[in-house]
Amino acid sequence: MACKIRDTLKNKNPHISFEIFPPKTEAGFDSVLSAADKIAALKPSFISVTYGAGGGTSKNTVNIASHIQNDLGVTSLAHLTCVSSTKEEVHRVIEELKAKKIENVLALRGDIPGGNEFPLPNQYRYASELVEDIKTQGGFCIGGACYPEGHVETEHKKDDIMHLKHKVDCGLDFITTQMFFDNNIFYNFLYRIREQGIMIPVLPGIMPITNAKNMKRTLKLSGAALPQRFVAILDRFGEEPEAMKQAGIAYATDQIIDLIANGINHIHVYSMNKPEIAEAIMRNLSEIVKDTIY
Ligand code: FAD
């Protein structure tokens, strides 16, 4: 059943959403659809579908989000980045989303592409401009990104929070965080943004780290710090893939349980097209996340 995420977030019972990413080429399309089918069977509150940084996979994002919502009956959230596209190109994607009855969009700037002059005329500079633009199209529930440890481009966290406040005031309904591995960083961020008057729902983004080799790249991209407790897990299990997977799932589960115990009821899991990881987390939470919303 289609639904606006801002309404789902009014539900006070704990619930989980998952994220998948579209294939880079058409060849990978079926395997992503199959992962989406398995993750949808877990009845998450919604599934988000990321958007290729260069805009090249936009069609896949729209098609996969449409499959999740219109064929599988699970609310979908389509990511949309604007940094590598003209305003006309972005407007075309918004029209496609409308035509497929997708009601939820995560409005993002995307990483600035190297080597290009930025922004070119008729391009967006910040996500806040995209939020304003989507808002004028009407009918969408709009989410945005936020960074508990600060966005890598902004030197001072307080400036980042000031920019976030402006983005929220442009019309966001909720924000989802970059991954973090120490819940205290999230609690501190929440305190600081509430103090600045950002009162919309904040969904913590939890990334189960199940592969030590991919971890370095993930951490570099996200800028997230690794607590000593997780470093010990990596030292002990990093060379044993199955043990690392089990430990990574347990660590993510532990973060989620702590968040729920502290009153955070909506948690977004970066499940990375891996249904077995989403399934293991839901199994671990079977007595905690009982209420499937739909
Ligand atoms: P913005 O909100 O525009 O912020 C970017 C930077 O500009 C920040 O440093 C901010 O402080 C600064 N800033 C904002 N406004 C102003 C202003 N008025 N004046 C001065 N500085 C300002 N990337 C993808 O390519 N595809 C995805 O699907 C995707 N999904 C994501 C989902 C989540 C939950 C998160 C947290 C990130 C995601 N990203 C994705 C990565 C994201 O695109 C990058 O982090 C990007 O660099 C910033 O995007 P933003 O929307 O946060 O930008």
For residue 269, the domain's CATH number is 3.20.20.220
- pLDDT at site 166: 98
> What's the confidence (pLDDT) of residue 294?
40
Q: Percent of the chain scored above 90 by pLDDT?
A: 81
Binned at pLDDT 50, 70 and 90, residue 54 comes out as low
Q: Please name which of 205, 193, 135 lies closest in space to residue 164, comparing C-alpha atoms.
A: 193
Quote the ligand 1 centre to 83 CA distance (angstroms). 10
Check 19, 96, 103, 129 and give the catalytic one. 19
Q: 197, exposed or middle or buried, with CB in 10 Å at 0-12, 13-18, 19+? A: exposed
Task: Establish if 292 belongs to a structural domain.
Answer: no
Give residue 126 CA to ligand 1 midpoint distance, Å.
7
pLDDT tens for each residue of 104-149:
999 999 988 877 677 778 889 999 999 999 999 889 999 999 999 9
CA 171/CA 131 separation, integer angstroms: 6
Answer yes or no: is 42 within a domain.
yes
Better-predicted residue by pLDDT, 130 or 85: 130
Instruction: Report the nearest-CA residue for atom 20 of ligand 1.
Output: 163
Confidence band, pLDDT 50/70/90 cuts, at residue 213 = confident
Tokens 């289609």 locate to 2
Tens of pLDDT, residue by residue over 11-37, are: 999 999 999 999 988 889 999 999 999
Backbone angles phi, psi at 263, to 5 degrees: 90, 10
Higher-confidence residue of 179 and 138: namely 179
Q: CA angle, corner 137, sides to 100 and 200, nearest 5?
A: 95
Q: Is residue 167 part of a domain?
A: yes
Residue 211 falls inside a structural domain: yes
Q: Within a domain: residue 268?
A: yes
Which residue has better confidence, 274 or 214? Answer: 274
Q: How far is the CA of 108 from the centre of ligand 1 (A)?
A: 6
Helix then strand then coil, in percent of the chain rounded to 5, is 45, 15, 40
**Stronger pLDDT, 125 or 216, i.e. the higher one:** 125
> pLDDT: is 113 or 97 the higher one?
97
pLDDT of residue 235: 92
For residue 51, give the amino acid letter: Y
Least confident of 83-92, 185-194, 253-262: 83-92
Range of the domain at 107: 5-284
Residue nearest to atom 16 of ligand 1 (CA): 163
**DSSP SS3 for 69:** helix
Instruction: Let me know if residue 289 belongs to a domain.
Output: no
φ and ψ of 205, to 5 deg: -100, 120
Domain count of the fold of the chain? 1
Query: What is the structure's pLDDT at 56?
Result: 60
Q: Which of 112-121, 137-146, 171-180, 198-207 has the lowest mean pLDDT?
A: 112-121
Q: In the predicted model, is pLDDT for residue 103 greater than 50?
A: yes
Q: Is the residue at 290 inside a domain?
A: no
Q: Are 253 and 289 in contact (CB under 8 A)?
A: no
Question: Which residue is it, tokens 């951490």?
Answer: 219
More confident residue, 199 or 118: 199
Q: Tell me, what's the pLDDT at 47?
A: 98
- Report whether pLDDT(53) > 70: no
Residue nearest (by alpha carbon) to ligand 1 atom 17: 163
- Look at residue 118 and tell me if it is in a domain: yes
> Active site includes 89?
no
